[in-house]
A and B are shown apart, each in its own frame.
Chain A
Amino acid sequence: MTLAFLNLTWPTFANGLALGGVYALMAVGIGLVFGVLRLVNFAYGQLIMAGAFALAYGSQWGFPNWASILFCFGVVLGLSILMDWLVFRPLRTHSPAVMLVATFAVAFLLQNIALLAFGPLGKSAGSLAILNAPWDVGGVFIKKIAVISVATAAGCLVILQLLLTRTPLGLHMRAASMDFRTARLLGVRANRVISGAVIISGLFAAVSAVMLSVQELTVVPAFGTQDTILVLAGVVLGGLNRPVPATLGGFAIGFANGILGGVLPSNQSQYLPSFLFAAVIVVLLVRPDGLFTRARGSVERV
C-alpha cells in the first residue's frame, strides 16, 4: 500500500509521526523553561546527548535495558538540575540576551566535554536496537519504535496537561509563565515553580534521548544538536509564547523532517535541513506571530 503522491509510504508516514512526537516533547521541554524563566535553553540538545551516551554506556556495560533507561533518566535529570543551579538561577534577573548567550556557552561546553571524554567517533546504543524491528500492522510493516514514540509522546503530553490543569503546582506554573511577579505576590513559590519546570523539562529530554538513540543508533557528541535547532525553529514557527502552538510547531517540523527524510533520495538528504529552514522562513514571512496562534489581540497578555 502506498500513499498516492511521491514515494511516501505508510512506514515513512509512521516515522514522520514518531519524529514529530519526539520533537513535540522537546518543544514542550524547552517551552516550559522558557515560560517561567524567559530563557531559551540552547543546551537542551546536550541534555539529550548526555542521556544518549548514558544509554550507550549502559548497553556497553551490559546493563539490562530498564537499568540503562533509568541511568539515562538519572544523568539527564541530574544535569538539568545542575544547569538550573549553576547557570539559570544565578542569571535569572539578568537580561534575556545574557541568559541566551549563557545557554550557548553551556551547550558548547558540554559538547566539547563529550568530545574529550568519549571521542568523535561515538558509541552505539545497541541493546535497544531491537525496537527498530517492524510490526506487521495489516500488511504494512511499521517500526516498533515509531509506534512506541507516538504512544509515549502522547502519554507524556496528556499527563503534563493533567498536571498543568488539575494540580496546584500546574496552576502556579501557568500563572508564573503569564505574570511571575504577580504570582509571587500571591504566594506562589518562585523556586518551586522553576524546579518543577526544570524537572519536567529534564524528564522530557530523557524520554527524547531514549527515542532518538533508538532511531539514530550511533551517539556522537553532536547528538541532538541539530534536532534541538530544528525544534527551536518549530517552536518559533508555532509561537514561542504559547504552549500548545509551540508543541504543534515542534510536532510539525519533526513530522516534516521525518517525511522528507524518507521521501528525499538519499543522495540529497544532506539538503534536508536547508529545505526545512527555508520552509520556516517562508512561514514566518507570511505569519510572523506563528503558524498556530490566533489573530493578535483576542486575549491581552499581561
Chain B
Amino acid sequence: MSALVVERLSVRYGAVEAVRGLSLEVRPGEIVGLIGPNGAGKSSTLHAIMGAVPVSGGAVRYDGRSLLSRRPEDVARRGIALVPEGRRIFGELTVEENLRLGLAARRARRNGGGLARAYELFPVLRDFRTRQAGVLSGGQQQQLAIGRALAADPDVLLLDEPSLGLAPKIVDVVFEALTQIREAGLAVLLVEQRAQRTVALADRSYVLANGELRLTLGPEDAGDTDRLVAAYLA
C-alpha cells in the first residue's frame, strides 16, 4: 500500500507565507494529527494537497506520483477525499443526493465505498436519507460530510476540523468513526483544534505554528498538557 507524502511544502498567498517547508507522511491504517493555533497553515496544507490552492514550493506525492498542479477533481479521483471545514454539505439537496455526489470521485472497477459504507458507519443517515440535508443538526451534517467522502471509496481521508462546533457527545461519535476508518486501512490526516483528543487518538501528531512544523507528539504525550501548551505558545 502506498503513502501520502508531503515534502518541504510551501504555500504562499501574495506576501503571506501560510505554509513553510512542511514535510509529513501518512501511511495506510494510521491517523496523523495536524494541530496548532488558528492561521498556523493547517487548512492550507489540506487544500494544497487537494490542488485547491497553488503551491509555491515542495512536493506532494501519492502512490509514488506527484499530485502537484492537478485539478481538485482529479486529486479526488485519485483516491484522496477531503471533509472540508464547515462541512460544506449541500443544504438544498437530500441526504442521499449528497452521498451520491461523493460517488463522483469513485474510481472505475472498484466496488468499495458507495452509499452502503456511509449508512453502515452512520445509521442516522439512512433514517434521514430523503430529507433535505440543510435541516439536519450540525452533528448529523458532519456525519453526512464524512459519509459523503467515504462514498468515494478513498485510500486517503483528509479532515478539516470535523469537531468544530459540535457537542461533546457528537465529537465522541466522530472520533469513534475515525477509529473505525483507520481500522479499515485508510490513511487519515486529521486537522483539529481539539489538541489533546487528537494527540490521544492519532498515531502521531504534528504541531504547526506560523506555517512551520514545531513539534511531533505521540499518543503517550496526550496527558502532558504542559508540553502541548508550550508548543502552542512557542
Tell me the A residues contacting B by CB distance below 8 Å: 168, 171-172, 174-175, 178-179, 181-190, 299-302
Task: Tell me whether A187 and B104 are in contact (CB under 8 A).
Answer: yes
The yes or no answer to B36 lying at the interface (CB within 8 A) is no
Give B83's nearest chain A residue, CB to CB. A185
| B209 CB → nearest A CB, Å | 26
On chain B, the residues within 8 Å of A183 by CB distance are 101, 104
Task: Tell me whether A184 and B72 are in contact (CB under 8 A).
Answer: yes
Task: Tell me whether A187 and B152 are in contact (CB under 8 A).
Answer: yes
Give B50's nearest chain A residue, CB to CB. A185
A299 and B132 CA atoms in complex are apart in Å by: 10
On chain B, the residues within 8 Å of A174 by CB distance are 93
* Dominant secondary structure of chain A at its interface with chain B: helix
On chain B, the residues within 8 Å of A182 by CB distance are 84, 88, 90
In the complex, the 4 A-B pairs of residues with the closest C-beta atoms, listed nearest first: A187-B105, A187-B76, A187-B104, A182-B88
A184 and B148 CA atoms in complex are apart in Å by: 13
Task: Tell me whether B101 and A186 are in contact (CB under 8 A).
Answer: yes
Given A300-B91, A300-B134, the answer on whether A181 and B104 have CB atoms closer than 8 Å is no
On chain B, the residues within 8 Å of A172 by CB distance are 101, 104
A61 and B208 CA atoms in complex are apart in Å by: 72
| A245 CB → nearest B CB, Å | 13
Task: Tell me whether B101 and A188 are in contact (CB under 8 A).
Answer: yes
Given A172-B101, A299-B91, the answer on whether A186 and B134 have CB atoms closer than 8 Å is no
A204 and B88 CA atoms in complex are apart in Å by: 32
Given A185-B84, A186-B148, the answer on whether A171 and B100 have CB atoms closer than 8 Å is yes
Task: Tell me whether A186 and B92 are in contact (CB under 8 A).
Answer: no
Within the complex, which residue of A178, A184, A302 is in contact with B73, where a contact is CB–CB below 8 Å?
A: A184
A25 and B81 CA atoms in complex are apart in Å by: 37
Task: Tell me whether B72 and A185 are in contact (CB under 8 A).
Answer: yes
Within 8 A of A (CB), among B39-54: 50, 52
| B13 CB → nearest A CB, Å | 16
On chain A, the residues within 8 Å of B82 by CB distance are 185
A183 and B93 CA atoms in complex are apart in Å by: 13
On chain A, the residues within 8 Å of B102 by CB distance are 186-187
Task: Tell me whether A186 and B100 are in contact (CB under 8 A).
Answer: no
| A167 CB → nearest B CB, Å | 10
The yes or no answer to B103 lying at the interface (CB within 8 A) is yes
The yes or no answer to B214 lying at the interface (CB within 8 A) is no
A185 and B89 CA atoms in complex are apart in Å by: 12
Task: Tell me whether A179 and B104 are in contact (CB under 8 A).
Answer: no
A182 and B91 CA atoms in complex are apart in Å by: 13
On chain A, the residues within 8 Å of B84 by CB distance are 182, 185
On chain A, the residues within 8 Å of B126 by CB distance are none
On chain A, the residues within 8 Å of B90 by CB distance are 175, 178-179, 182, 302
| B87 CB → nearest A CB, Å | 10
Given A186-B148, A187-B76, A187-B152, the answer on whether A175 and B71 have CB atoms closer than 8 Å is no
A188 and B105 CA atoms in complex are apart in Å by: 7
Given A168-B103, A179-B90, A186-B105, the answer on whether A299 and B72 have CB atoms closer than 8 Å is no
Task: Tell me whether B132 and A181 are in contact (CB under 8 A).
Answer: no
A172 and B90 CA atoms in complex are apart in Å by: 11
Within the complex, which residue of B71, B134, B152 is in contact with A184, where a contact is CB–CB below 8 Å?
A: B71
The yes or no answer to B197 lying at the interface (CB within 8 A) is no
A172 and B72 CA atoms in complex are apart in Å by: 15
A179 and B133 CA atoms in complex are apart in Å by: 14
A190 and B90 CA atoms in complex are apart in Å by: 17
Task: Tell me whether A190 and B105 are in contact (CB under 8 A).
Answer: no
Task: Tell me whether A175 and B76 are in contact (CB under 8 A).
Answer: no
Task: Tell me whether B91 and A168 are in contact (CB under 8 A).
Answer: no
Give B78's nearest chain A residue, CB to CB. A187
Within the complex, which residue of B88, B101, B104, B132 is in contact with A302, where a contact is CB–CB below 8 Å?
A: B88
Task: Tell me whether A299 and B134 are in contact (CB under 8 A).
Answer: yes
A selection of 12 A-B contacts at a CB cut-off of 8 Å is: A168-B103, A175-B101, A182-B84, A183-B104, A184-B71, A185-B73, A186-B73, A186-B148, A187-B77, A187-B104, A188-B104, A189-B104
A182 and B76 CA atoms in complex are apart in Å by: 11
A164 and B88 CA atoms in complex are apart in Å by: 21
A190 and B71 CA atoms in complex are apart in Å by: 9
Give B52's nearest chain A residue, CB to CB. A185
**A186, A190, A299: which has the most chain B beta carbons within 10 Å?**
A186
| A219 CB → nearest B CB, Å | 40
| B194 CB → nearest A CB, Å | 23
A190 and B77 CA atoms in complex are apart in Å by: 13
On chain B, the residues within 8 Å of A171 by CB distance are 93, 97, 100-101
A174 and B104 CA atoms in complex are apart in Å by: 13
| A246 CB → nearest B CB, Å | 15
On chain A, the residues within 8 Å of B132 by CB distance are 299
A300 and B152 CA atoms in complex are apart in Å by: 26
On chain B, the residues within 8 Å of A301 by CB distance are 91-92
On chain B, the residues within 8 Å of A168 by CB distance are 100, 103-104
